Every structure is written in C-alpha cells, then in structure tokens.
Amino acid sequence: MIGSPTRNDRAPGGMLAWRVLRRLPELVVIWVPLLLCAGQVVVFTIWTTVVSFTPSTLMPVTGWVGMRNYTAMLASRNWHIAFDNLLIFGFGFVVLAIAVGLLLAVLLDQRIRGENVMRTIFLYPMAVSFVVTGTVWSWLLNPGIGVQKLVQGLGWSGFRFDWLVRPDMAIYTIIIAAVWQASGFAMALFTAGLRSVEPDLIKAAQIDGAGPWRTYLRVVLPTLWPIVIAVLVILLQFAIKAFDLVRALTDGGPGLSTQLPTLVVYDFMFQRGLLGRGSAAAVLMLLTLLAVLAPYGLWKHWQTRRAARA
C-alpha cells in the first residue's frame, strides 16, 4: 500500500509476506493514527446524527422517532433564544472584530515606532483561555464590583453600566469580550495581507501621481478583500462554536438571555439528560456551520479552478 510498488513487490508468496511484515512498523505508524483521526470525524458525525433520530434520554437507545427531536428542538423557546442570540452575537462580533482588526492592521502598517510591542499586546488575548478572559470580563462588567462601581465611586453616583445583569443587554457584553479577544487575530491576518501587496503596484500608482492616501485607499486596501472574506468566515466559525467564553462570562444568563446553540446542546445532553434532543441541537449547529463554510469552500474551489485555467 505504501509508496509505488517496485518490481520486487511482485515476488511470490513468502517473499511478499516478508516484505509486508518488514514494512509493518511504517504501516502501523501511518495508518493507525490517521484512521483513528479520520474515523473519529466520520463515525462520530454519523453516530451523533443517528442518536438525534432516536428517543434517547439518559442513555443512548435504539429506536426511531423520525424528525421528532428536530421539530421539538426547533419549536422550543431555548433554541429560538439561542439562535436569535447567535445572529446578534455573530453579526456584532464579526463586524466589530473585522473593523477593529483592519483599523489596527492599517495603523500598524504606517511604520510606527514600537510596532512589535503593539502587535504583541494586541494578540496576547488569543493565547489565553476563554475561561480566564471570560472570568476577568465578568469582574469588569459586574455592576457591583466593576466599571460601574468605579465610576460611581469617583463621584458620578447616577452612572449605570449594568449590561451584564440586564436580560436585554447581556448578549452585548459577550460581543465586547469576544471582540477584545479576537480582533488582534483579525489584525494578524490583515497584516499578513498588507505585507504581501506587490511593491511594484504601489510604485506604479505613485508614478501615476497618486498621493499616499489615494494609493492606500485605491491600491492597497482593495487587494485585501479576499482576506476580509476569509477572516469573516473564520470569525463566524468562532461565533458558532463559542462556548467557554459565554460559560465563564454569563453562563447563558440572566435567565436564558445569553443562551447560544452550544450551551443548548450541553444543557440538553448532560444537564437534562435528553440525549436525542441534544444531538438534534448538535446536528442543527453543524448545519449552521456548513451553511457558512460550504459557500466559502465552493467559492475557493471555483477560484482555484479559474486560476488554473488562466
């Protein structure tokens, strides 16, 4: 199986067995990890999908309930709130993180002193666990001990900043924390894009008499748009998968106000012991993810094919 067969491979019986045996270590090292990893992806996806069609509660059981778990999940208040929250959070987070990331990348691209220190500062949140950052943000945003308390203590006693405990505003605190954590990441990707702009392109624009601003707006930034789309897709993926941050910051509350699909899955599977429902929610989550990734994948595929033809 490994490598192209040489002539000796066609040697009869005993020789062949010997050759296979001698190559056993490499066969094991290549195939066992890869099969486990690929198998995990395929088998687990099918497994959870199958469970989503069964009446499983505390334990997975066989049986068939058709789409009942899905209809129940889609009709439930939890899923509605979670999905609406995902739309608000996803939109706010992605737009702001891209805007801030792009702004930082462009500002840093102006050959500022201390560029590397700045870059390190903007990106450090990505190295830290969401549990840590979520906890710290919950202290800052908690009206009793955070920013509100500080400002009130300074004398402005009417000051209110209590989004964390307000059901209608709590979801925006998650946007704040998530933008803080991920905008440096967007910056890093945009910086990579700005670095790869052809110097000739800029020179040509300058020879044509364009000033620095015009050159930047008309020549440099337009080359970034494929990266903007890539960052958009990656951040949307983040948003759909976000769990730790919400768990640490609001734990879905107050009430259900910051529920996200990821929390609904966990809640139904392991707290309510409704494995069938929880699995249906997980599959719905996967479908949401596919709705984002599939168009991007197709677009990339189309692009590479067009590039190959050109």
Partner 1 sequence: MRDIRPSWGRRLIALLLVGFAAAYMVPLAIVVLNSVRSVEDIIQTSTIGWPRALVLSNFTEAWGHYCIAEVCTGIRPYLWNSLAITVPGTLMSTLLGAVAGYAISLWRFRGDAWIFGLVTLGVFLPEQMKLLPWAIVLRDVGLSNTLTGLVMIHTIQGLSFSTLFCRNYYVAIPQDLIKAARIDGAGFFRTFWRIVLPLSPPILIVTVIWQFTGIYNEFLYGVTFTNGTQQPITAALISLTANVANVPQYGVQSAAVLIAAAPTLLVYLLGGRWFVRGLTAGAVK
Q: What part of residues 92-111 is at the interface with partner 1 (CB under 8 A)?
A: 100, 104, 107-108, 110
Selected binder of partner 1 within 87, 121, 201, 229 (CB under 8 A): 121
Distance CA 267, CA 274 (A): 9
Measured from the CB atom, the residue of 20 and 131 that comes closer to partner 1 is: 131
Q: Are 237 and 293 in contact (CB under 8 A)?
A: yes
Nearest distance, CB of residue 222 and partner 1, angstroms? 19
Sites for partner 1 among residues 172-231 (CB under 8 A) = 180, 184-185, 188-189, 192, 230-231
The torsion region of residue 256 among left (phi > 0), alpha (psi -120 to 50) and beta comes to: alpha
Rounded to an integer, what distance in angstroms lies between the CA atom of residue 147 and that of residue 298?
A: 46
Of the candidate spans 63-71, 76-84, 165-173, 283-291, the one that interacts with partner 1 by CB under 8 A turns out to be 283-291
Of the candidates 137, 108, 112, which has an alpha carbon nearest to the alpha carbon of residue 122?
108
Helix 130-141 and helix 170-195, axial crossing angle in degrees, nearest 10: 130
62 binds partner 1 (CB under 8 A): no
Render the burial of 117-137: b for 16+ CB within 10 Å, e for the rest: ebbeebbebeeeebeebbeeb
Residue 80 C-beta: closest distance to partner 1, Å = 18
C-beta of 251: minimal distance to partner 1 in Å? 8
Q: Of the candidates 171, 265, 274, 280, which one interacts with partner 1 according to CB under 8 A?
A: 265
What is the rounded distance in angstroms from the CA atom of residue 201 to the CA atom of residue 216?
Answer: 11
Q: How far is the CB of 71 from partner 1 (least distance, A)?
A: 20
283 lines the binding site for partner 1 (CB under 8 A): yes
DSSP string, 85-154: HHHHHHHHHHHHHHHHHHHHHHHHTTT-TTHHHHHHHHHGGGGS-HHHHHHHHHHHH-TTTSHHHHHHHT
Q: Does 247 bind partner 1 (CB under 8 A)?
A: yes
Provide the minimum distance between the beta carbon of 210 and partner 1 in the complex, in angstroms, as a whole number.
15
Closer residue to partner 1 in complex, CB, 169/289: 289
With contacts defined by CB under 8 A, name the span among 31-39, 90-98, 160-168, 197-205 that binds partner 1: 31-39
**Nearest approach, Cβ of 299 to partner 1 (angstroms)?**
14
Q: What is the DSSP string of 125-140?
A: GGGS-HHHHHHHHHHH
Decide whether 92 or 168 has the Cβ nearer to partner 1.
Answer: 92
CA atoms within 13 A on the CB side of 189: 21
Q: Which stretch binds partner 1 (CB under 8 A): 40-48, 69-77, 82-90, 163-171?
A: 40-48
Encoded one letter per residue, x for contact with partner 1 by CB under 8 A and - for no contact, window 126-165 reads xxxxxxxx-xxxxxx-x--xxx-xx--x------------
- Residue from 54, 85, 258, 279 in contact with partner 1 (CB under 8 A): 279
Closest contact distance (angstroms) between CB of 183 and partner 1 is 9
- Tokens standing for 163? 């989004």
Does residue 16 interact with partner 1 by CB under 8 A?
no
Query: How many angstroms separate the CA atoms of 117 and 125, rounded?
Result: 14
Give whichever of 155 and 168 is closer to partner 1, judged by the CB atom.
155
